[in-house]
Every structure is written in structure tokens, then in C-alpha cells.
Chain A
Amino acid sequence: MSTVRIPPVLRENTGGVRSIDVAGGTVAEALADLFGKHPALRDRVTEEGELSRFINVYVNDRDVRYREGLETTIGADDTIILLPAMAGGAR
């Protein structure tokens, strides 16, 4: 099992859970397992089957855009980090 870190703005789609174990040998398979557990996440993370432009996906510390995208392979101890931009600051 790999672990997916759920960013704060998406936790309303997971009932507040911050970290979810998923099965799969690629990012695509892991996300499919994740969406099976939390269907509302699908439309937040992907657009028409592709990764959303608004969310960066990392396997451990590497952005999958610079690897093989959804086909990036993952191992049992890998962590998938979903990272949307955050706006908060001054006011």
C-alpha cells in the first residue's frame, strides 16, 4: 500500500481524513483506488481523465509532471502528495 496525503482544501471530500492508504503500481491506479474510497475527490483532482492543472502531484518529493505523469510507478513505501496552491496570507 502507498499513502496519499490529502491537502487541507480537499479534506472536506474525505471526511477530514488527512492520509489514506491506497493500492496500485502506478499513480493512476493509486488514484483510482482513492477515488473508489472517496468519489468526490475525482472531480477535484482530475479533469477529463487527466491530472487537474490546479493540483501538483508528487511521488515522495518528485513532481510527476517531470516523471511519467499518471503512469509514474510507485512502490509500497511511497507517499503521494496532492498539492493545490494555497492563497492565505495577510488579511
Chain B
Amino acid sequence: MSNDQTPTFREVSGAEAVALARDGYRVVDVREQSEWDAGHVVGATLLPLADVPQRIGDVEPDRNARLLLHCAVGARSGRAAGWLTQMGYTNVVSMKAPIGHWKENGGAWEEPVQLLTPAQQRRYSRHLLIPEVGQEGQRRLLDAKVLLIGAGGLGSPIALYLAASGVGTIGFVDDDVVDESNLQRQVLHGTDRLGMLKVDSAELTIRGLNPETNVVKHVERLDAGNVERLIGSYDVIVDGTDNFDTRYVLNDAAVRLRKPVVHGSIYRWDGQITTFVPFEGPCYRCMYPTQPPDELAPACSVAGVLGVLPGIVGMLQANEVFKLVLGVGETLSGRLLMLDAMGTTFDEVRIWRDPACPACGEGVTQAAASDARVAAGT
């Protein structure tokens, strides 16, 4: 392929190429970016064929440098090697072999860790475009375990969006069955589910929405006896309970186990949302040290609630879950957001850690430090 006047380059096998690279040849990969992304020679430089004439001078100004060019099978690297030789490069070698031969002969090769399957890349493509999510963020969502206390008004919209967004494990704590009066707002359930356990109905709906979501059903009521077992294996707890006893029980256990709790409550046209991050911000007891009498705090079943209200509040809670899982943005920790749907206004007040809080105050942190010193034998 050459005559006496035309400078030439050498074509080598996979085994020879590996030996040359070990001998110090600089490896130049003339494939495309997408091929590179799927795997490439360790230490190689990417220089797609079309860019070779313009960019080789920047990539390697030394015409006597020892260059080993490769592509997928040896055709493109042969063309590139021919060009370089004509440009005056004197030590150009092209690997004329499938790239598999490089690997089979022990050539160093690296492939990116595939965080998502091709199906996941398609399904969550709109997330992948967001810088704060991307492949790593989506992987976090897929690995996340979120526990919803209640598969009702707040739990319904939250679960739908968490599942759609790819949160990998969604647990429900609920021992109730679907009642006709639930359907005005509890959008996980439907008329054909009346009398069914809410957790079973939730599982059916979520399976249809995203078969990849792992649904864990806890058919029980959260109480002081089971709370630590229930919340222990989850990353984030979403509090959509309907009574104060449960909220205090959940709060105290979540503080002990250092689990963030995303809090939402609703009443007619009004909602409250905040996030409790133990020992970083206040807890529920810091905000409400004393349980109010029942007449001051009636449940939905007594007071009524606008159908869309748990939807609005639930979406704000779901947004908090995403930020906690992704580790981005600013949560509502230390802030209580209050929604008045009648006027469509939001108010926000600051809530502080109470040094005297029986759950997370100074007495607790000092006792914990003391325990740690005992455990460490100091």
C-alpha cells in the first residue's frame, strides 16, 4: 500500500498493540464520543476521526512522538494513521484488529459504571436532563426507601409521584380499608376498590404506574411498640397521620433513629408543611410541645377537607422527599409553610430547636454524648 516515495505507517495486531502501549506508545482513540463512553482504553486520548486533521497538532505537537491509533476494527485508525504520516508524523502505528483483541490480550480497558439500565434511561430521561438529578440522582431515587404513614389523603398523591419518579421502595403503614368517603381525595384508590385494604389498593395502583417500584405493605397502626421496627429500614418518613398521638410517637422514634420526617397536615382549606431533620433543625415537639385538646384539632373525618388540599400539601411534601434523597436545595427544616387555599396564600414562620425539648433538646444530646463516652471507655 505504499511505494518508496510515500512515508508509511505500521499496522499491528491486538497483541502487538498491547505490547507497544506497555512500551510507552501513546494511545489515540479515533472513534466517536458515544463509543468512547461505552468503554475505552485506559489512558487513551479521544480524537474522533473527523477531528484528526484539525486537532492532532494540539493533541500531539511532537512529530516524532510514538502514537498507537485504534478504532473499533482498524479501518478508521488506518485512515487517520495515513493522514498523520503524510503530515510528517514518523512513529505512527494503527491497530488493525477488532478492539476485542486488545481486551483479550490483557490491554487495560475501562467501562463506565452503568448507573441506569437503558429502560431506566428512557423512562427517567426528563430527570436525567436536570443537572441536580442526572444519572447519579436518579440512581439515588431508585435506591431510596420512603415510608408513608398512611395510604390516604396525603399518602395518595405523594405515593403516585414518588413511584412515577422512580423512588425504588415505598412502604405504607395503614390498616384501613377503602371507604366511599375516601374517594373524594384519596386518588390511589377507586370505586372498584371499596372494602379493599388501602395498602393492597395502593400496591395495585403503583404496580400499574411503575412496575419497578417495590411496595412494602405494613398492615398495622403505628404505635410506640412497633414504630422503631417500622421506620428503622427507611431513609425518609412521610407523616400523613390523622392524630396527635401518632405524630408524637413517630417524632420521638424518628429523632432517636435520626430519620428525617416530612410533615403535612390539612384542615378544610388550610394546610401546613415542614420537614424535621433530627438535631439539625427542630422536631415536632419543639414546634408543638403540648398536645392540644381534641376540640382544637379535629381530624378530617370530623372537620372535613377540600379534595385538592391533600394534593397540594402532598406535592409539597413529595418535593421535600426528593430534596432529602438527592441532597440538593433547601428543605423546609426550621420553617413551617402554611397554605390558605381559600385565598391562595402561603405564610411562612420560623421554627426553632427548643433547648428544653424532651425529644431533641440539650438533655438528650448531653445524655447521648455521655453514653458515647461510656461506650468508648473514656
Binding site for B on A (CB under 8 A): 5, 7-9, 18, 44, 53-56, 58, 61-63, 66, 79, 81, 83-91
Contacts and interface: CB of A to CB of B under 8 A. Distances in A.
B190 to A, nearest CB: 17
Contacts of A56: 287-288, 349
Given A86-B272, A89-B265, 13 more contacts: A55-B292, A58-B349, A62-B350, A63-B351, A83-B336, A83-B349, A85-B292, A86-B265, A86-B267, A87-B299, A89-B153, A89-B266, A90-B176
B305 interface: yes
B212 interface: no
B352 A66 contact: yes
A85 B274 CA distance: 12
Closest 4 CB pairs of A and B: A90-B150, A90-B152, A54-B292, A86-B265
A89 B303 CA distance: 11
A86 B340 CA distance: 13
A83 B239 CA distance: 19
Given A53-B290, A84-B296, A89 B350 contact: no
A63 B297 CA distance: 20
Contacts of A54: 288, 290-293, 296
Contacts of B349: 56, 58, 61-63, 81, 83
Contact of B269 (A5, A8, A53): A8
Contact of A88 (B174, B288, B303, B350): B303
B107 interface: no
Interface string B134-165: 00000000000000011111110000000000
17 contacts: A7-B270, A9-B298, A54-B293, A63-B349, A63-B350, A81-B347, A84-B297, A85-B244, A86-B265, A86-B266, A87-B267, A88-B298, A89-B241, A89-B242, A89-B266, A90-B174, A91-B152
B264 A91 contact: no
Contact of B292 (A8, A84, A89, A90): A84
Interface in B256-298: 264-272, 287-293, 296-298
B243 interface: yes
A54 B293 CA distance: 8
A89 B296 contact: no
B342 interface: yes
A11 to B, nearest CB: 9
Nearest to B269: A8
Nearest to B289: A53
